[in-house]
Structure 1
């Protein structure tokens, strides 16, 4: 079936799966950052991400999301809409989306037009995940927004409402934007509809807002593990049924690395831990090699940070990772897991995802 076939567009609620899918206990997806490792170029990283999306589709992953980051040499996914258009043209069936687009960085109309275009080109395959953080440092955020940095948390719901009204073409009478249309929009897309909107978060704010609006919620467990259960509980407690969802739906991002041995997996994961340490210190760079991570002269506080970071990564042999992912799902009650492997080397990263798919039962 062509990805442009209007009959391929399911109702919005049907685009969010139930708990069970095939032989896996819960849907498994991928979050990719087009990681740029030491010795690689952004062009090579983007090519590797494209190949990974093709393989993820072949291996049976449910979604493939990319995330907006700016000013980070080790991340090449600064323009999600552009990258998603390329990935969608290179794949046929896998759902693609933003995990996420940082709403404060953009005018809502621009996002509506970009994702309306993606949906028109690839109906029923696009997710619009939104975050309220800038995804970068203050100077870069200022450059992105031309000096407008006075948004408050209270303004995010207003921005979100404006975006969804552009997507749905339903501004009320008398609104300044009543006559404006996001084109391509609902009326110009074969089969109608629009991309499902997800809220992303690493704290309780977006969890509560997603619940009140009846939207699916994705939580960044991979870098805010201590807040995962409280945030998901708050989302479920706040949830109100909507036209999108009749009951809560939660996805959590999970750091995961699989290799032939547990020792190899931990060695690979060490490069991502060092990259995160440098980011937290305000000196982001290319993802270091495992050798560099092993020989880095860590101070005691740095070693403590790295050990704590690795403790929240599900890593090891494939069966160990499968057990770890299932344990995490049971502990959190998440409806879907989205794994991310921020490690050096495209071959090692792809191999990790393949091993996890095999152990998790996605390949049958």
Structure 2
């Protein structure tokens, strides 16, 4: 089972955004030492709790600070970019760091109307066409040649839910799945089975979720951020866990439901839950997307998880 990390460059209360970006690079260096397979970064725009808005730039910083671990995007959101520009960025990275670059792409738009306007996205769903175009640039079959030309293929992944799974399956591309698709429900099982049927022998499933090895309170900062976002519409920086924080009814409901898609606890608890998840989904790889306020505790969790799955 390949084990990888997705770091969203989560900001923390009382710190500048730049601290989150530096921590991402430092975490990648530790992940390489621990034997993780990939280290991916994210794309979010105008979100107070996330500092990573330019995955290609952050990928360059991570790749330059490491030497072996694969570096990629989880993901580049195609509605925000011209496919040729993405191909050119990926080409530069692959030329400078041969054999180490991945590109994961998604279809999410900006969260609010002002952000979508700032990104010049019109809301039209051209994901399938954009994905086809990007793949043509990457494999050298497009009418225009993106430079630099790739010396070797760059793995292309689709961050997929619902319709995206079918698109990835039809194109025979690997998928990164999270959220409701991973629930132990007939709908989740059917979605993964449909993807496998469409992709055939090219099927590859990467499951992505929060996994923390340690005190269950480590999950509270993310749960609180989600609860706050549901109340205010703005995803905030991480704050220290506070079990006694006063909560509205809606916030309490959100926080109580958040752990359902987070695997947290001691090594035995985590191992048991991961085994059930990976067996049920038939996953080829685990992409851990967890974060918490305490950076030392997060580093310890990364190390304990690597030891658990080694």
TM-score when normalising by structure 1: 0.80
Compared with structure 1, are the counterparts of its residues 300 and 224 closer, same or farther at alpha carbon in structure 2 (3 Å cutoff)? farther
* Residue 175 (structure 2) aligns with: 217
* Residue 222 (structure 2) aligns with: 272
Q: Deviations over 1:34-72 (max 9, x none)?
A: 111112222111111111111111111111111111111
* Residue 86 (structure 2) aligns with: 111
* Residue 300 (structure 1) aligns with: 249
Question: How far apart in 1 are the matches of 2:182 and 2:238?
Answer: 20
Compared with structure 1, are the counterparts of its residues 184 and 115 closer, same or farther at alpha carbon in structure 2 (3 Å cutoff)? same
Q: Which has the larger radius of gyration?
A: 1
Note if contact 1:116-1:194 (Cα within 8 Å) is conserved in structure 2. Answer: no
Instruction: Choose which of 37, 40, 44 in structure 1 pairs with 2:19.
Output: 44
Structure 1: unaligned runs, 5 residues or longer: 1-25, 172-177, 187-191, 241-245, 260-264
Count of residue pairs brought into register by the alignment:
307
Instruction: Choose which of 134, 137, 153 in structure 2 pairs with 1:166.
Output: 137
Note if contact 2:181-2:188 (Cα within 8 Å) is conserved in structure 1. Answer: no
Compared with structure 1, are the counterparts of its residues 325 and 347 closer, same or farther at alpha carbon in structure 2 (3 Å cutoff)? same
Question: How far apart in 1 are the matches of 2:206 and 2:272?
Answer: 18
* Residue 257 (structure 1) aligns with: 212
Compared with structure 1, are the counterparts of its residues 143 and 276 closer, same or farther at alpha carbon in structure 2 (3 Å cutoff)? same
TM-score when normalising by structure 2: 0.93
Instruction: Choose which of 65, 70, 76 in structure 1 pairs with 2:40.
Output: 65
Question: How far apart in 2 are the matches of 1:214 and 1:223?
Answer: 19
Compared with structure 1, are the counterparts of its residues 287 and 31 closer, same or farther at alpha carbon in structure 2 (3 Å cutoff)? same
Note if contact 1:253-1:340 (Cα within 8 Å) is conserved in structure 2. Answer: yes
* Residue 325 (structure 1) aligns with: 274
Question: How far apart in 2 are the matches of 1:217 and 1:194?
Answer: 17
Structure 2: unaligned runs, 5 residues or longer: none
* Residue 117 (structure 2) aligns with: 142
Question: How far apart in 1 are the matches of 2:278 and 2:295?
Answer: 27
Compared with structure 1, are the counterparts of its residues 269 and 222 closer, same or farther at alpha carbon in structure 2 (3 Å cutoff)? farther
Instruction: Choose which of 149, 156, 160 in structure 2 pairs with 1:185.
Output: 149
Question: How far apart in 2 are the matches of 1:230 and 1:273?
Answer: 28
